[in-house]
Amino acid sequence: MSDIELPLLTRRVASAARIDGEAALTLDQRLRSRQRIKLDDGREAGIMLPHGETLTDGDLLVSADGLVVRVRAAREAVSTATSDDALLLARACYHLGNRHVPLQIDRGRLRWRHDHVLDDLVRRLGLPVAVEQLAFEPEPGAYGGDGRGHRHEGGPGHGHGHH
């Protein structure tokens, strides 16, 4: 770390009169409550939120001195399966969920972080898989708190021994 003090984003707000910057963060970054980030304009800031909070696309973070930063879900390599067959998609959700794979589930579409082994598994179930660079917003899970994933007590490192 340098001697320059970074603005420290310590709280989330529902709205703001102005946005001073934006930061595109991957899912892994949005799951971390303490980290150094780079804003789109090149400035750096720190994030220090309560442990277990998960950031989602559009969240607004504020520093003590009033800096407001909008979080954006960064584009990352994802795999997408599409089908009009709800049963096929449900089977894919079951098998991927059984492996604790974070899933973004939409009508007729299922998305996960790209992994060729998982892609092959889903193809063997009979679904086409496309690899894309897109923002990834998975379901918050059963322990996702308010439904947007902000209070993910069962998140990474939740340690109930299923490895």
Res. 140 pLDDT band, cuts 50 70 90: confident
Domain boundaries, the chain: 8-73, 75-135
Q: Which CATH class is domain 8-73?
A: mainly beta
Please name which of 79, 75, 76 lies closest in space to residue 130, comparing C-alpha atoms: 79
- Residue-wise pLDDT for 9-56, tens only, equals 999 999 999 999 999 999 999 999 999 999 999 999 999 999 988 899
Do the strands 8-13 and 44-48 form a parallel or antiparallel pair, or are they unpaired?
parallel
pTM reported for the whole predicted model: 0.79
CA nearest to 13, candidates 44, 42, 38, 49: 49
pLDDT attached to residue 144? 52
Q: Are 37 and 47 in contact (CB under 8 A)?
A: yes
146: left (phi over 0), alpha (psi -120 to 50) or beta: alpha
Looking at domain 75-135, its CATH superfamily turns out to be UreE, C-terminal domain (3.30.70.790)
Tell me the residue type at 87.
Answer: L
Instruction: Quick: pLDDT tens for 147-159.
Output: 343 333 333 333 3
**60-94 as b/e, with b when 16 or more CB fall inside 10 Å?**
bbbbeeebbbbbbbbebebbbbebeeeebbeebbe
Q: Which token pair is 21?
A: 């910057």
